[in-house]
Chain A
């Protein structure tokens, strides 16, 4: 399991995927908290 998780750091593509997931999650959070109902 830990080895699989290391892929997110050790591979550049893995790191790309990890950051993209975090970013899209944060964007979804911002939408839920501040923007829902404004659009």
Chain B
């Protein structure tokens, strides 16, 4: 137990380091900040809501930087795409926050927010899961036929439509090997930023599928490029929260301690798997987060009287972090076994490199 004087909370150090490690691993692997998992967890540990947001945002900035450096070394960042998207994201976030303020004035922000979260996350889960299953089956067929499989297998036709949009300037994203109108990238930034600003999240879980399915980047590049965005948004958020006195640096330090290892492990783990494996983990993260949001929505709609719903949402959030982290660790272990010619489950070879 440690007395966090600024937050006025006594909490176990182990849990903060543990949350830092698990969310760091997941964030480095699927390119998200993980705020939708960390903030509820910190509130459960006893931190006030505003402190939880501040600590979360500050730790995301640090963790995002570690992951970004690792992904840069792995060649997973397309700077043209990242910097083009930043401008659109900023505009989108501003628009999203303004809409949220409007709904707040009407007094219905809580329900609208949770309902939108459920619809957005479930739709993304459905599309990602269906497409990834198709890609996985294709890869399995190729394995059976003895063909060589590339690191990325993607079966969606959407990128080809967006890449044909002829608006000037057309940019060549060299690392992603994509030629596309800059307005498509900026537009993706605006739409994903709008949803992120409205839902009050970093938006990585929206941007990564958008970069894959709309712009046509490979999953590895989408993850690395999105982490650059997270460094910008997390850094700005950390600065704003620090100025407002919403950050307990000791809590941030303990979380960063875990995240430092987790973020590096998660980033390096991407080099052991193919694109569909990352998209599978992303879709699992989305469906579990959707279930958590449904439970919170039910809790709000029942007038916050059925305490078991809130408790189940908390358990699901903690369980989700552990589940995703275990899945990533096991994929890496399976990949190592497969490389050494040892037996692995039949669904693994087409997902690992």
0/1 interface trace, chain A 1-39, chain B, CB 8 Å (1 if under): 000000001111001100110111011101100110011
Which of B72-80, B96-104, B199-207, B319-327 faces chain A?
B319-327
Q: Which of B12, B319, B323, B346 contacts A34 (CB 8 A)?
A: B12
**When the two chains form their complex, are residues B45 and A38 in contact, meaning their CB atoms are under 8 A apart?**
yes
Tell me, yes or no, whether B44 is within 8 Å of chain A by CB.
yes
User: Helix, strand, loop or mixed for chain B's interface?
Assistant: helix
CB neighbours (8 Å) of A31 from chain B are 314-315, 318
Q: Are A23's CB and B314's CB within 8 A?
A: no
B15 contacts A30, CB within 8 Å?
yes
Q: In the complex, which residues of chain B have a beta carbon less than 8 angstroms from the beta carbon of A12?
A: 345, 347
Does B272 touch A at the CB level, under 8 Å?
no
Please report the C-alpha to C-alpha distance between residue A26 and residue B323 in the assembled complex, in whole angstroms: 10
Q: Please tell me if the beta carbons of A35 and B45 are within 8 angstroms of each other in the complex.
A: yes
* B311, chain A: closest CB distance, angstroms: 7
Taking the complex as formed, is B299 at the interface, i.e. its CB lies under 8 A from any CB of chain A? no
B143 at the interface (CB under 8 A from A): no
Inter-chain contacts of A11 with B (CB < 8 A): 347
Which residue of A has the minimal Cβ distance to B347?
A: A12
Number of interface residues of B (CB under 8 A): 21
* B22 and chain A: residue at smallest CB distance: A23
User: Which of A10, A20, A35 contacts B323 (CB under 8 A)?
Assistant: A20
Kindly identify which residue among B12, B46, B311, B345 contacts A10, using a CB–CB cutoff of 8 Å.
B345
CA distance A30 to B34 in the complex (A): 20
A21–B323 Cα distance when bound, in Å, is 9
B314 surroundings in chain A (CB, below 8 A) = 31, 39
How many whole Å from B21's CB to the nearest CB in chain A?
14
Residues of B within 8 A of A24 (CB): 315-316, 319, 323
Within B300-326, the residues touching A (CB, 8 Å) are 311, 314-316, 318-320, 322-323, 326
B116 interface residue per 8 A CB criterion: no
* A-B contact sample (19 more), CB < 8 A, given A31-B314, A31-B315: A11-B347, A12-B345, A15-B330, A15-B347, A16-B327, A19-B323, A20-B319, A22-B322, A23-B319, A23-B320, A24-B316, A27-B318, A27-B319, A27-B322, A28-B315, A30-B15, A31-B318, A35-B44, A38-B44
A-B contact pairs, 13 of them (CB 8 A): A10-B347, A12-B347, A15-B345, A22-B322, A23-B326, A24-B323, A26-B318, A27-B315, A28-B315, A30-B318, A34-B15, A39-B44, A39-B311
A-side residues, CB < 8 A to B, are: 9-12, 15-16, 19-20, 22-24, 26-28, 30-31, 34-35, 38-39
| Closest 3 A/B residue pairs (Cβ) | A23-B323, A27-B318, A27-B319
